[in-house]
A = this chain, B = another copy of it.
Amino acid sequence: MFTIAKTEATRGIWSSTRNMPDAPGRGMVTVDVIAAGICGTDYHIYNWDAWSSGRIKTPMVIGHEFVGIISAIGEDVTGYHVGERVSAECHIACGECHFCRTGNAHICENTSIIGVDRPGAFAEQVEIPASNLWKVPDAIPDTHAAVFDPVGNAMHMVSTAKVTAKHVLIVGGGPIGLFAAAIAKAHGARSVTVQEPNQARAAIAHSLDLDLVVNPLLPDSTSKILDLTDGHGPEVVLEVSGNGRALNEALAIAAPGATVALLGIPGGPVELDLGAKVVMKGISLLGVTGRRMYETWYQVEAFMLKNPDLIDKVITHVLPATEFERGFELMDEGACGKIVLDFQQIEHRLSA
């Protein structure tokens, strides 16, 4: 079957063929992929950065955010049937470790991730445990259902930070930052500001009809945020840029008592003025990873059902899966929101 894979240990990503998965094993299902989103993680793998080159074993079919139709069901799978449309959690948790057993499967110590540690969803078919599936209501279109996972990252962050009635600053206007902005708005934030230097992304933020979009490279960005927040600064900061300097600037203007959720991964250590900007201001820095299984999924479903217009604005491109290179080039240029690949038009689909 057609796949998009890391076949060589160097920068790039390539189309490749792989045999269709065998009949699914016990507790597993096979899903025919309809559509899949390109994640920042896929882009890291494409760039073959330190993290990905240290973890990925080539060849590896990538991709982990997707929607599809169940085409085969393994032994002992209950509650699902062939023909159902599903998305899926890409983190396959062990279910047995201390963290899984105490409601924290998102930090399972034995996690395996599809598209990273095992064959992913940029393929005509993907095999996944039934316990990772999420049934998609009919009212949610395929392109939205394909991005349950990144909307879930944003939702986990927003839910953790508790934005309702608060001034919210989102540092970084990539897809997750934009989804977070949309969710914060839908959850009743007092104001939502996106800080993003890339003007293509800032334009998407503008289209969400937020309270403020600022360019951190311009001198007035801080004063604009302070004006909007009655001089106190944001009460919630959602850090998705991974940029240490931006984090420090955000801490400097954050209101005393603010909650700062951290989702972006800095490239290296970050120097922080913990004394003056965290301890004495009573600020909380909350590391956020993955999605709560599966409470976050339920929350995302609720959001998607109510706010399709906002999601449409963040998904800027739907490309045929075969044009995946164009997708990665758009990410190189930063000229996009979320990109979704359409796997339905693959020639010879469902034939190995």
Give the number of chain A interface residues (Cβ < 8 Å): 70
In-complex Cβ contact of A287 among B101, B109, B265, B279 (8 A): B279
Q: Is the CB of B284 within 8 A of A285?
A: yes
**Least CB distance, A42 to chain B, in whole angstroms:** 17
In-complex Cβ contact of A288 among B159, B186, B273, B282 (8 A): B282
Q: Is the CB of B273 within 8 A of A271?
A: no
Which of A269-298 touch B at CB < 8 Å?
Answer: 269-275, 278-290, 292-295, 298
Q: Is the CB of B287 within 8 A of A280?
A: yes
Decide if A317 is an interface residue (CB 8 Å cutoff): no
Instruction: Find the B residue at minimum CB distance from A275.
Output: B265
**Least CB distance, A138 to chain B, in whole angstroms:** 13
**Least CB distance, A23 to chain B, in whole angstroms:** 18
**Least CB distance, A231 to chain B, in whole angstroms:** 9
Q: Is the CB of A285 within 8 A of B289?
A: no
Task: Pick out which of these stretches binds chain B: A59-67, A141-149, A198-206, A299-307.
Answer: A299-307
What is the CA–CA distance of A292 and B295 in the complex, to the nearest angstrom?
A: 15
- Interface majority SS (helix, strand, loop, mixed), chain A: loop
Report chain B residues within 8 Å CB of A99: 256-257
Q: Is the CB of A279 within 8 A of B302?
A: no
What are 29 A-B interface contacts by the 8 Å CB criterion?
Answer: A95-B131, A99-B256, A101-B294, A103-B295, A104-B256, A107-B256, A159-B164, A164-B164, A165-B303, A187-B187, A188-B302, A188-B303, A189-B302, A247-B274, A262-B278, A262-B279, A265-B274, A265-B279, A269-B271, A270-B274, A271-B272, A278-B285, A278-B287, A279-B287, A279-B289, A281-B287, A281-B289, A282-B288, A282-B290
Decide if A347 is an interface residue (CB 8 Å cutoff): no
Instruction: Find the B residue at minimum CB distance from A279.
Output: B287
Decide if A19 is an interface residue (CB 8 Å cutoff): no
Chain A interfacial positions (CB closer than 8 Å to B): 26, 76, 78-79, 95-96, 98-99, 101-104, 106-107, 109, 131, 159, 164-166, 183, 186-190, 230, 232, 242, 244, 247, 256-257, 262-275, 278-290, 292-295, 298-299, 302-303, 305-306
Counting every copy of the chain, the complex holds 4
Contacts A107-B257, A256-B107, A266-B274 given; indicate if A165 touches B299 (C-beta within 8 A).
Answer: yes
Q: Is the CB of B281 within 8 A of A284?
A: no
